[in-house]
Structure 1
Amino acid sequence: MLGLVVASLAVATPAHADPVRDLEYWLDDYGIREAWNTTRGAGVTIAVIDTGIDGTHPDLAGAVVGGSDFSGLGARNGQQPVGSTGSEHGTLVGSLAAGRGSAPDTGVIGAAPEADLLSLSIGFGEGEIGSDDQIASAVRWAVDNGADVINMSLTRNTRDWPESWDDAFLYAMDNDVVVVAAAGNRGTGTYVVGAPATMPGVLTVGGVTRDEQVSAEASSQGITIGVSAPSEELVGALPGGGHAQWGGTSGASPIVAGIVALVRAAHPELDAANVINRITETARDRGPSGQDYSYGFGLVDAAAAVNDRVPEVDENPMGDLREWIRVNRRAPADDPTAAPTPLEPSAPPLIEARGPSGTLYPTPGQLRDVGIPLLVFVAFGGAFVVATARAVRAYGATRRRG
């Protein structure tokens, strides 16, 4: 099957003459191109709390307008990918939210290609302070530096979260910032969502296959899921200028974060609760009517979220974090020692792709450490060679009742 993929990339003539852009099926299937007739997200800022975004990638030129490092391992502006494993993650995520493409019809273009990005680099299990505290500080920094949306393609692997997150996430919500989080990936044993995807008020994103069925490999389940978005056969930008085909709710989440940016740009008068409400109310129903543990309110629909008439609400449809804290904080967390990790779905076996010099690109170590299914495109005279990353089984999680 992989041989067929390689052959098609080498000889096919895509509609845009660009194999990377042609892989972005969600732009049409989820109403994103149609929404661009109204807005492309200009004036909205998305903070990406992750391993750091390489803002020098051609597809991200001009997109990353600021950032900071919270690990003590990276650059002060947050644009040096950090971590001994999976440092590519933040660049992949950022490109799906607000990639510009390297030209009008080439390279990765994000759901909100005129939104700005803030790169907040975190060391997952590494750094001068614990990951929990890094994330709490990053959330506050994002709010103080103009974020309208925060994307978190990570999980704490438990249903609960530290009290430092109470204050940080309330600070974001009190300052009208929409927080978007990935549900997690069943391919690595995370069968139900974990924090921050369990936190009331957070817009949690589940994942579906290309044929719009809940993903058996790349989406956890849970009653806190708000909407679902593509999580398989994705493509994103790699640090240093390459591209990768990958999967997981790590990719579904920034697609939705970009759509949130489109809604905020089209409806600047709306508060965060009503922005989230437009996303959930206009989602295309899947499964049982209303919110369910597989699809949430349904499949995200960018054009409908931007353009439909939706009555305003007084409360966030994803819940009230302040009320949850008032009722539940008296109980101890079930695992206060847990640490957040980037989301890592399973992957096919490693296949090496050698360039003209005989060296590997990426190196075997890079592929092993990524821990997400990468199909890395390496251009040699217009052809593309495919490499896949090995899986890293990372974690398990428990379910919190809503």
Structure 2
Amino acid sequence: MSRLWFTLTGGGKSLILFRTTTSGGIARVPQKAISMNPCPNNSVTLKSLSSNEPSLPPSIFLGTVSTSNGWWERTKGRATVKVSGHPPRSLFLIPVVLLLLLWLPGTLFSAQITLQSDEQFRFAEQAMEKGDYLRAVFEFERFLRFFPEDKNVPRARLLIARCYLKAKDYESARKTLHETLGVYQGTLPGGKALFLMGESYYEQGLYEEAARYFKGVLGAYDDPELRNRATYRLGWIQMQTGQWQEASESFKTIGAGSPLFLNAQDLSFKSLGGEQLPYKDPTTAGILSVVPGLGHVYCERYKDGLVAFLLNGLFIWAAIESIQQDQEVLGAILGFIELGFYSGTIYSAVNVAHKHNRKLKDDFLQGLPDAVDLNFFATKEGHLGLALKFTF
């Protein structure tokens, strides 16, 4: 057995330098190594770089080239392997080339990726504008990781919280805002974070908790516009909870220089209309339900009132008839069932009155414009862009 160096040629050009071991058996040649444009019938010529042996038996490939579909085996007929000549001169150039590669500067073969802070920030904003909020969160967090000293870091934190609010992930939003408050307590970004904390509870309908945060903004921060927005949102909470007079007074205190001023003045007048809504008194509905169904009629639920009247009347009649027929046990059972229906009718009338009032109020509020624009909490500011370069 002898080891020889070969250059596999096909289609008119050299493809690869590899080593074979001559032995008996079938010639195995990697299919991909034959040629990208194989010559006719996949014929190959192997040129020896060693001695002037007249010929070689079939060889087994020992190189490192592999293909996805394994080895190509020529099992029918054996390829003719010709050995001739001496090692090509190019073989002696390999050490010289390797030395040159070592001496050349590394940057000649390096690749650079430059990441600009303003470009990364804008990319995150674009994801947010497209409604891809979770992707926007990822990109803003990448911005914070790469550019922790950039002037837009406070804004990025607030935008992360806004993305979570848009995605209705209120717990994640509040977690981000708590972290922001810890870093920027007493500054404008901290005040905005406190406002957004209240906004997260407001959007969930937790008005008492939301009011606590908006009042916290008024008590701790002097920025005029931030205070105007907190007061404005408190006015909305007062309308949501039926405090129409208080809401009107809150809207009147919005400063004349605020973008909210005109809308607030309009709401100051319109909010009083909430007191004129045709509410139904739940207590009255319950009292009227002493006559089954009458409380529902009071709440304008005529069909429900008719059903309640007939159902209760039927059970009352059946109970009386049973007693008159000396079936006291059956009469007692029917009377007990009727007592349950009768109590349920009263409770239902009270509940219907509350639902009627809530729907009336919600429809009224939906007709009023809410001018709070959360873009205020991501106001664009001029800044110097930073850049990071990654070299490979």
- TM-score in terms of structure 2 length: 0.21
Which structure exhibits the higher relative contact order, with contacts defined as CA atoms closer than 8 Å and separated by 6 or more residues? 1
Tell which structure's C-alpha radius of gyration is larger: 2
Judging by fraction of residues, say which structure has more strand.
1
Judging by fraction of residues, say which structure has more helix.
2
